[in-house]
Amino acid sequence: FVHLFRELPKRSPSDDLTDLMPWNVEISEAE
């Protein structure tokens, strides 16, 4: 998911995942 942060540096790590892909929360816990 590092590429997500690099592509969207204007957004915060939390907001980025929450806004673009709320489902990432489940993966975040596993990761």
Domain segments of the chain as ranges: 1-31
The Cα-based distances of 17 to 10, 30, 31 in angstroms read: 13, 15, 14
Count Cβ atoms below 10 Å from residue 1 Cβ, excluding itself: 13
pLDDT at 8: 59
Which value, in Å, is the radius of gyration of the alpha carbons in the chain?
9
Cα separation, 1 vs 8, whole angstroms: 11
- 18 within 8 A of 26, measured Cβ to Cβ: no
- 17 within 8 A of 9, measured Cβ to Cβ: no
From first to last of its 31 residues, the chain has per-residue pLDDT tens of 566 656 655 555 555 555 555 555 555 555 5
